[in-house]
Amino acid sequence: MWTFVQTRAPMYRDIVEEWGLAGEEKMRIDLVEHGALGRRILAGFMAGTPLADILEVERSLAAPTWRGPIEAVGFVDLKERLREEGLLEKINRPSFSPWTNRGHIFGLPADVHPVLLCYRADVFEAAGIDVSELDTWEKYFEATRGLVQDFNGDGQPDQYVLELQETTGEPITVLLLQGGGQLFNEREEAVLNMDRNIELLARMADWANGEDRVTGDLDLFSGAGHRLRGEGYVLSWMVPDWRAYHMSLYLGGLEGKLKLMPLPAWEEGGRRTSCWGGTMLGFPKEKDNFEKNWEFAKRLYLSRELAVRSWKETGVLTPVKAFWDDPVFSEPNPFYSGQPTGRLFIEQAEDVPVRSSSPYRNLAVQELANAFNSLLGEARRKGLEDPSALEAAARQVLDQAQKNILRQMERNQFIEATGTLPES
């Protein structure tokens, strides 16, 4: 078995050793760097170079493998087996979406990755802000706008309410999916310039622009970004389960000062979560020992033992719904002010949005980031703050993004490049 997840490889090895399979079955679990794993998989499927029996891959590595005709996809189609064994009902259904392409399911989901909002409870509570009343983004910013502060008097805020990356597509995509936007529709047609995307991108630009700006731009994973979070440059940021765990590793000085809450909805009664990331187990077609591999994979991935250890050691919530009643998910987390963080993620798990499995998804996310960055640049240069003006500019940049993605898709002779071209 090959995996790119550094924290999970030793966990898997421990479990296999405890089961007594390492010697009997000659089971070996190798850690392979993310980029190298992607190259090995494509080489194996296209040129027949050796592959492991079982492959644990992230969505950005999996999707390119089904860029060609469906019969040429190198992973085993699991759909009928999953249906016959009742696993489509046992596993959180939205978690299958990144691995479902043209009616086939090519992977066993490893996770759910619901998204919550992490906020500085010490600052909010000192300001008398009751987050239980902030169920929409409009209410959230109305209540917290006064927390944007210029402490050194240089005319530039030193503290913002929300973290929002301006050149990184994933957080923007998270918000887009939460609000009902899409990169590709259910027919895998590119829809970057759909009306809902235009509306949502314009509203995000309004957050990050003008004298009443409320968002700050920080690196997601760098030491500099973590230091600024710790110093209070931003007072809230979006966290899927895995990132909530990472915060406890990198921001130890904030223990007991943070809490989690559902994302504010875009509209009253709207979705209070989103999804960020995703990993699967897949099986190369070329292997002749699929039955043995499948039984091992089920024993590992569908075990309560792995569900508990994954939560404790990596912060990842299992997609197996039967295990969500385990006491481990109700344990108070001292880093998050004693909240039962597992229970908070589980409450949102079944409402995570369906995600596209398009092999062009990575490119679309980058195009979305480019569009948002261009929109902000235009808004700041021209002083655009009126919603209608921001939407007009958002339409323009997303029309260009749509043209760019279709241009790339049209080069593929096996997948029809469909989508709405903007009027010239």
**What averages of pLDDT result for each successive group of 10 residues across the chain (424 residues)?**
93 88 74 96 94 95 90 95 97 96 95 98 98 97 97 93 95 98 93 98 96 94 95 98 97 97 98 97 93 93 95 97 98 98 98 94 96 96 92 97 94 62 46
pLDDT for 23? 57
**Cα dihedral 302/308/311/313 (nearest 10):** -110
Distance of CA 408 to the CA centre of its chain: 24
**CATH superfamily of this structure's domain 2-109+276-349:** Periplasmic binding protein-like II (3.40.190.10)
CB-based contact 50:70 (threshold 8 Å): no
Question: Which CATH code is given to the segment(s) 115-274+356-409?
Answer: 3.40.190.10
Give me the residue spans of the domains in the chain.
Answer: 2-109+276-349, 115-274+356-409
DSSP letter for each residue of 148-194: -B-SSSSSS-SBBSEE--SS-HHHHHHHHHHTT--SB-TT--B-TT-
Q: How far apart are CA 12 and CA 30, in angstroms?
A: 10
Q: How far apart are CA 170 and CA 25, in angstroms?
A: 40
- Give 181: exposed, middle or buried? Use CB within 10 Å, 0-12, 13-18, 19+: buried
Cβ contacts of 396 within 8 Å, gap of 6 or more: none
Q: How far apart are CA 193 and CA 409, in angstroms?
A: 16
pLDDT for 17? 86
Residue 124 backbone zone (phi > 0: left; psi -120 to 50: alpha; other: beta): alpha
pLDDT for 281? 97
pTM over 0.85: yes
Question: How many contiguous H segments (helices) and E segments (strands) does the chain have?
Answer: 17, 12
DSSP letter for each residue of 384-402: --SHHHHHHHHHHHHHHHH
Q: How far apart are CA 30 and CA 297, in angstroms?
A: 15
Shared fold status for 2-109+276-349 and 115-274+356-409 = yes
Residue 234 bridge partners (DSSP): 160
